[in-house]
């Protein structure tokens, strides 16, 4: 997670897109852990659009402002394009440009439908430096070999 105290212009909106769900989940887990250490677990809200569309009112509430004793908020929205949840996409599209400066928004999905208003908005925001889109493709061939070696080394193993 970028250090939010460094630059005011650093993105606070992230899209982690790709079929490498292991690497994506590892990154989200690391960000969540770091956020929890710095700001507490109460500021973390996770929404999965594939599981429950009834969470839209909670998502709307989370996007509006921090809780009473919370200074920073991390919102993770999973499967925003896969679930074909137009209500969640519409809500994010409406709120994303006015996201409070205390909020970080992370969208996670296997693919991003570039035809949607939300994808177009995020892409435009990325061009202005307000958002970041990271692609996570499943490694193959030499990349897979390098990934396995690095992963083993990070866990204390060697080849």
93-124 confidence digits (pLDDT tens): 888 888 888 899 999 999 998 899 999 999 99
Sign for the CA dihedral angle at 62, 64, 67, 73 comes to positive
pLDDT of residue 109: 94
For residue 42, the 8-state DSSP code is G
Is the overall model pTM greater than 0.85, yes or no?
no
Paired tokens of 10: 């650093």
Q: Which residues contact 105 (CB under 8 A, 6 or more apart)?
A: 12, 13, 14, 63, 75, 77, 92, 96, 99
- Indicate if the pLDDT at residue 7 is higher than 70: no
R_g (Cα) of the chain, nearest Å: 16
Say if CB 139 and CB 20 are below 8 A apart.
Answer: yes
Residue 85: pLDDT band with limits 50, 70, 90:
low
Say if CB 62 and CB 45 are below 8 A apart.
Answer: yes
Which ranges of the chain would DSSP assign to H, the alpha helix? 21-39, 56-64, 86-95, 117-127, 142-154
| Average pLDDT for 71-84 | 87
pLDDT of residue 37: 92
């Amino acid at each position: 997670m970028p250090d939010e105290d460094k630059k005011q212009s650093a993105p606070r909106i992230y899209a982690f897109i790709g079929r490498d769900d292991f690497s994506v989940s590892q990154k989200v887990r690391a960000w969540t852990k770091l956020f929890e250490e710095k700001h507490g677990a109460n500021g973390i809200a996770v929404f999965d659009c594939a599981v429950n569309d009834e969470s839209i009112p909670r998502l709307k509430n989370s996007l509006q402002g921090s809780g009473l004793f919370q200074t920073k908020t991390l919102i993770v929205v999973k499967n925003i394009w896969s679930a074909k949840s137009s209500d969640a996409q519409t809500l994010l599209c409406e709120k994303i440009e006015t996201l409070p400066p205390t909020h970080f928004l992370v969208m996670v999905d296997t693919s991003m439908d570039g035809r949607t208003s939300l994808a177009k908005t995020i892409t435009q925001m990325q061009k202005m430096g307000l958002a970041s889109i990271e692609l996570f493709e499943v490694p193959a061939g030499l990349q897979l070999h390098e990934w396995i070696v690095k992963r083993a080394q990070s866990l204390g193993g060697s080849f």
